[in-house]
Chain A
Amino acid sequence: MQIQIKCSCSEESCQEWAIVELQGAIEIQPSFQNRLHNLEIGQLCRPSSPENYTFTVGYHELTGSKVTLKKPFLVLKKKKTINFEQQSSEGDSTGTELEVVGIIRHRILFKTRPKALISKPQPVVTKRATATGSSAPIK
């Protein structure tokens, strides 16, 4: 069985997607769980100092930087196709297709310990400590 990886990107490059990555997970207030669409996660800022980025989620501020990936990621979309014309000997007429829909060469990575900004009002979206229970993200 063969599945070809299709790519309708031009010769030069595929459309570039972005990744914002942080340690731990975000927590949505229960009343907003069903209204995620368009719900803001946080503010991504790039202060005047060009190397740093800050990401403010709820009352936490994270500091990070733009990292070039050693190996790029391809974003693939998996599609199930139903082919009415093709009748193979097994009588199976569905197939899977994979298509390249984008490429990722950079990510904005936040791996420092979040700084708490305590003067903000109660936020809808807050940053939860890392899954392991410890809020120290240093490996």
Chain B
Amino acid sequence: MEQPHPGCRGAEAVLNLQPGSSISVAHHPLFGPHDDLILLELDEKLLPHILHQRVTLRGQPDEDAVLCTPSKTYGIKFVGNSNSVFLIPPSDHPILCKASEDHNGKGHIQQASASVIKVAPGSMELVEVAPRLDKLRLLLSENPYRSEEALQFEDVDGMEKRITGLYTWDDLVDKIQASDEELRTGLMAFSAAEIDGYWRIVDEEYMGKLLMALFPSSVLNDWSLNALNEDEVVRVLVQDGFPQKLAHHCLSVYGSKVGEGVNGSCLWSLDERRVCVHFAREILRGGKRKMESLMEEWRHKIPEGLQASFDMLEGEVLTEKLGVDLWVRAFSVSALPLTPAERFSALFKERAKWEWKDLQPYIRDLKVPGLSLEGLLLKYTRRIQPTLDAEPIFSAR
């Protein structure tokens, strides 16, 4: 058998072994447990993120670490291997250079060899997971932005401001196990706004005040609710005493951008459903109401030009028959946990049995990588369907 180039001691010798050749495989001079060397199994498509240093591990000391690319989150698990996995580094690797020099003098360099630095007990594997955003809602609820805060003027030196429960973007990245993109999406879903560098959930009552200022102004200025000029709206709301940041926030929470206006300012269209739901929630904050009473007050409250219909309240309210009356109470999907196990637990705590048409609005937002809605139902519910044409009923497993 031919020997490869003498002095060739590493992975290359193994990987490029030619037919008709042989090499010795030996323990490296620095052979040992090397617990600091870890194998991570990685999908080829994640490699560019690694090479460009866009991958981080995130988590608090008491949490299981997750691996985050710019847009996805992965759980990490260790998978043992009962085989003997001999790990052979390349010959000129910095880890090993020093040792090679030390040992060059001694002994005989006869044939080419490959040196095993350690026997790997296993490797880390990645599993795509949903971002852990329940904690985000928890943190942001510690100190929501309220009217009282808005009324305070510029920071006066020495003035005490309540600074607990305030989180900057960097604080959130540090504490939440989610990728940057998922974190941003989560913040949008919670209608959070960045105020003075801190991400805040704005108190609903305060948002109501903004809305109530918007409508009279739109009538006064003859604005079309489908083509509101951003600069104009913000200007008027600031004149009314609202911080500029929150005027913008009002538009993004209750409207959608529809284009660009005359002087480069954005055009917004108010979302009828979002506005109407806001007013219904306001009414039901005071407790449950009879259907007729709710509908009457609701129609009374919503501004001119908007139409309210009960189906807008899907995923926001639950109805129950008490005697001859139909009662409505608030139960918003936006207040429920985001993780499937906890979501179903909360739903079945509220109601033991659900019909599909009632259940659907409360679970359609659940996203679990690798699991469809049907899969979720199979996993977390028991389905009862007395006859083929009867409505299926879902209860806890």
Q: Using a CB–CB distance below 8 Å, which chain A residues touch chain B?
A: 1-7, 9, 11, 14-26, 36-50, 53, 55, 66, 71-79, 98, 100-102, 104, 106-108, 130-131
5 interchain pairs, CB-CB under 8 A:
A16-B90, A18-B10, A47-B20, A77-B95, A78-B38
Q: Please name the residue on chain A nearest to B47 by beta carbon.
A: A72
* B121 CB → nearest A CB, Å: 11
Determine if B88 and A20 form an interchain contact, defined as CB atoms under 8 angstroms apart.
yes
**Distance from B57 Cβ to chain A, minimum over Cβ atoms (Å):** 4
A74, B20: Cβ atoms under 8 Å? no
List, in ascending order, chain A residues with CB within 8 A of B82's CB: 23, 130-131
B17 proximity list for chain A (CB < 8 A): 44, 46, 53
Bound form: Cα–Cα A55–B14 in Å = 12
Surface stretch bound by A, among B48-56, B236-244, B252-260, B263-271: B48-56
Q: Residues of A contacting B173 with CB < 8 Å?
A: 2
Known contacts A24-B84, A37-B30; is-contact A3 B57 (Cβ 8 Å): yes
- CB distance B116 to A71 under 8 Å? no
The contact of A21 among B40, B42, B86, by CB within 8 Å, is: B86
Stretch from B21-29, B308-316, B349-357 at the A interface:
B21-29
Which residues of B are found within 8 Å of A100, using beta-carbon distances?
50
Query: Which B residues fall within an 8 A CB radius of A?
Result: 1, 10-12, 14-15, 17-31, 35-44, 47, 50-53, 55-61, 65, 67, 82-90, 93, 95, 103, 107, 113-114, 116, 120, 123, 173-174
**Complex contact B103–A2 (CB within 8 A):** no
Having A2-B174, A38-B107, A101-B37, one finds 8 other A-B pairs with CB under 8 Å, namely A2-B56, A18-B10, A24-B83, A26-B84, A37-B28, A38-B29, A48-B20, A71-B43
- Which residues of the other chain, B, contact A9 by a CB distance below 8 angstroms? 51
Pair A102/B89 contact, Cβ less than 8 Å:
yes
A43 touches which one: B12, B25, B27, B58 (CB < 8 A)?
B25
Chain A residues near B44 (CB, 8 Å)?
A: 71-72
A44 touches B39 (CB 8 A): no
Cβ contacts under 8 Å, B43 to chain A = 71
Q: What B residues does A98 contact at CB under 8 A?
A: 38, 57
Could you say which residues of chain B place their CB within 8 Å of the CB of A23?
82-84
Contact A71 B60 (CB under 8 A): no
Are B59 and A102 touching (Cβ within 8 A)? no
Give the distance in Å from the alpha carbon of A53 to the alpha carbon of B123 in the complex: 24
Q: Which residues on B sit within 8 Å (CB–CB) of A14? A: 51
Q: How far is the CA of A124 from the CA of B12 in the complex (A)?
A: 26
Known contacts A2-B58, A24-B84, A76 near B25 by CB under 8 Å: no
Which of A15, A25, A106, A131 is most buried by chain B, counting CB atoms within 10 A of its CB?
A15
Q: Which 3 A-B pairs have the closest CB atoms?
A: A18-B11, A45-B22, A18-B14
> Are B95 and A101 in contact, CB atoms less than 8 angstroms apart?
yes
Instruction: Knowing A40-B25, A41-B27, A108-B14 are in contact, say whether A79-B57 is a contact too (CB < 8 A).
Output: no
Smallest CB–CB gap between B111 and chain A, Å?
A: 9
**Interface pair A17/B36, CB less than 8 Å apart:** no
Given contacts A46-B17, A106-B15, contact A73 B39 (CB under 8 A): yes
Are the C-beta atoms of B90 and A102 separated by less than 8 Å?
yes
Contact present for A4 and B56 (CB under 8 Å): yes
Interfacial chain A residues near B19, Cβ < 8 Å: 46-50
